[in-house]
Amino acid sequence: MSEDKQGMFGAAGTGDTSGYGGLVLSAASTGSTERPYGGYFDQVTDDLERAYPDFADAIERVVVDRGELTLHIKRERLVEVSLILRDKLKFEMNMGVSGVHYPEDTNRELHAVYHLLSITNNQRIRLEVSVADIDPHIPSLVEVWAGSNWNERETFDMFGIIFDGHPGLTRILMPDDWQGHPQRKDYALGGIDVEYKGAVIPPPSDRRTYK
């Protein structure tokens, strides 16, 4: 996500030159959004700053994109901020945790994304924590929202993020003795060649792709 991509086709090292070499895809912005954020986002961030004096240190970035607010949080501060969000800002529910793997985002390869809902104020915000692949530890939020239990197990299963303090961090969807974490980008999709009327069709991950 952090680098611009060139060329049209994904497969490298083949003789295929039919793509437009000049095509450049611009990467997503990596900076903070400038105030005002619009909607209830200003009020939520103001309330959080008031209730949590270390805001500037804990929150790395505040991003407002497509009408949604994302707070990028340092992992050491995740539990503190979550407690304040739950108790002071009334984000009663954690709707889930989803992992995302960005192999190009050096030292921040693994992201855990939390979707919070406030029933009282009818608001949604998102927390994002990023950690390095070589040190994939994030504190668990099971003590804050009990429902994070299975969500964190799934994210561990699929990405290998270790949630410290989780009461029983085991695989949940894959078998217990499974090797690897399937949703990571370096984990192959798998599949076999299929022959149809003499032509061989490779599995989806090996076909020519468009960036």
Q: Two tokens at 117?
A: 């809902």
| Pairing relationship of beta strands 68-73 and 59-65 according to DSSP bridges | antiparallel
Which residue(s) pair with 24 in the sheet? Answer: 6
Q: Does 95 bind another protein (CB under 8 A)?
A: yes
Which stretch, 39-47, 54-62, 74-82, 150-158, contacts another protein (CB under 8 A)?
A: 150-158
- Residue from 52, 145, 156, 163 touching another protein (CB under 8 A): that is 145
**What secondary structure does DSSP assign to 27-55, as a single string?**
PPP-SPPPSP--TTHHHHHHHHHHH-TTH
- Residue from 101, 156, 163, 169 touching another protein (CB under 8 A): that is 101
**CB of 134 or CB of 189, closer to another protein:** 189
The CA distance from 1 to 38, in Å, is 25
Which stretch, 76-84, 112-120, 133-141, 192-200, contacts another protein (CB under 8 A)?
A: 112-120
Q: How many CA atoms lie within 13 A of 82 on its CB side?
A: 26
For the CB of residue 32, give the shortest distance to another protein in the complex, in Å.
15
The residue ranges of DSSP E strands in 9-150, in sequence order, are: 24-25, 59-65, 68-73, 93-101, 110-118, 123-131, 137-139
Q: Does 183 bind another protein (CB under 8 A)?
A: yes
Q: Does 124 bind another protein (CB under 8 A)?
A: yes
Residues that bind another protein (CB under 8 A): 1, 5, 25-28, 65-68, 70, 92-96, 98-101, 113, 115, 117, 119, 122, 124, 126, 145-151, 154, 171-175, 182-183, 189, 204-205, 209-211
